[in-house]
Amino acid sequence: MGEGGTPAGGRTRLDTSVAHNARVWNYWIGGKDNYEVDQQVGGHVAGMFPLIRDIARADRWFLGRAVRYLAEERGMRQFLDVGTGLPTADNTHEIAQRVAPDSRIVYVDNDPIVLAHARTLLTGTAEGATDYIDADVHDPAAILERASGTLDFDRPVAVMMLGILNFVLDHDAARTIVREVMAEVPSGSCLVLTHPTHDPEVGGEGQIPAMKFWNENATPPITARSGTEIAAFFDGLDLLEPGLVSCSRWRAGDDVAAVVPQYGAVAVKP
């Protein structure tokens, strides 16, 4: 459904009585940074929609392939990871700095548990920089302003929006967020995006009742979009091969991965 980010408006206070996406996502990928309520809701959603665990894993593998490709083949050295979620194995900075130790990464989220874990665990190389900013996807101007302390917006930046825009329920508002962020990065920058879909050709119809249950029992509320709607986020950008596909199949090589109803793509700003 969503990558584990926290886009809800305003500051988020820790509430362990209600399931929260960052912690439930952590539960789905086998992490331990979650509570009983997250396990209960996450387990119920997985019972309604068993593909959700495959989506969670596929989204994580997509992140790894995308960051590695951008660092190795396109020489990307700056990454702005919006809605990072709880740290786990092979985070963006670890992959990028493994390729190029001088890579600079800024993580963005606004959940207090994510913040605490990030400040403890997201430490990078001495040659590069790894920073975490407490900001909201609904406020791209604040994200850009704070990220500018670590990133040089005169040089290309890979903007990572994995499973985050599905928490921006208004489609026009979500498109505006992408446009405003990409307007402030130079030519050669990239948009890396995943998003859940209800398209039946990739098995997405099962997301609809599962998301309804989620929205009634957890936070923040979530939505799926069609492939056409998701493709609109890339307007004005040049999609890299293989274009917008199930994130499990994006540059997967010889790996035979199941198709999941979560689209993924990488595009370059001309």
How is residue 225 annotated by DSSP? B
* pLDDT recorded at residue 100: 96
Q: Which residue has the higher pLDDT, 114 or 252?
A: 252
Whether residue 250 contacts residue 66, with contact meaning beta carbons closer than 8 Å, is answered with yes
What pTM value is reported for the model? 0.89
Give one DSSP letter per residue of 64-124, joined into a string.
Answer: HHHHHHHHHHS---EEEEET--S--SS-HHHHHHHH-TT-EEEEEE--HHHHHHHHHH---
Q: What is the pLDDT, as a whole number, of residue 91?
A: 86
Instruction: Quote the CA–CA distance of 85 and 22 in Å, as a whole number.
Output: 5
242 prior amide bond cis, ω within 30: yes
**91-124: per-residue pLDDT in tens?**
899 999 999 999 999 999 887 777 777 666 566 6
